[in-house]
A and B are shown apart, each in its own frame.
Chain A
């Protein structure tokens, strides 16, 4: 059974700094998406990577993927107060299920 471990549980970053969230998975998956959740809202897809790609960048958000170590991470460059949210990594088991990590609460202070 797939498991996804996520760390840290919470993260405090100064405005303009780099936020880094790490995840580790156990079994091969099709895709590794990241979801962003603001307080009182449902999660929404932020960015995703396939296991045959080592890095994907979209604006200030970058996913790094290490297949041999079974790890992937989200980097948020130039972090802004508007990035304050909870972030979930996940592993896609195909079209039917996502296995989520436990979440990281990010707070960016001005």
Chain B
């Protein structure tokens, strides 16, 4: 049981490049989330999903896109990378209630 996995662990992008951050969970959770974590700013919700085929915007969705074709996978797409997207990205999942299980994170630098 791997829990929540994220790839890659680290990535450096040039301004304007695109990439997809991968997230997968093996706990059969309906709810999945993407957060970004910036120093002193806590965790900000980018997008979330309540089940396959259903996604919704969080607090800071601009510049990102998501899809949820299966229960297990919830990839996050950055289309035109900007320096403001330099951050640590966390994917999480939950079955019910307030307990979310987080992945190990992806550290992204945009230069």
A positions within 8 Å CB-CB of B: 6, 9, 30-31, 33, 40-45, 48, 88, 90, 92, 95-98, 100-103
Contacts and interface: CB of A to CB of B under 8 A. Distances in A.
Interface of B: 4, 31, 33, 40-45, 48, 50, 58, 90, 92, 94, 96-105
A90 B105 CA distance: 19
Given A42-B92, A92-B97, 17 more contacts: A6-B42, A30-B97, A30-B98, A31-B97, A33-B98, A40-B104, A42-B105, A48-B99, A92-B98, A95-B31, A95-B94, A96-B31, A97-B48, A101-B42, A102-B40, A102-B42, A103-B42
B88 to A, nearest CB: 9
Find the residue from A6, A33, A40, A43 having the highest chain B CB count within 10 A: A43
A92 B40 CA distance: 21
A19 to B, nearest CB: 18
A45 B100 contact: yes
Lowest 4 CB-CB distances: which A-B pairs, in order?
Answer: A42-B102, A92-B98, A102-B42, A31-B98
A6 to B, nearest CB: 8
Contacts of A103: 40, 42-43
A78 B88 CA distance: 32
B59 to A, nearest CB: 8
B52 to A, nearest CB: 15
A102 B41 CA distance: 5
A100 B43 contact: yes
Nearest to B3: A42
B31 A42 contact: no
A90 B35 CA distance: 14
B94 to A, nearest CB: 7
A80 B3 CA distance: 28
A40 B98 CA distance: 22
A73 B105 CA distance: 27
A79 to B, nearest CB: 22
A43 B90 CA distance: 9
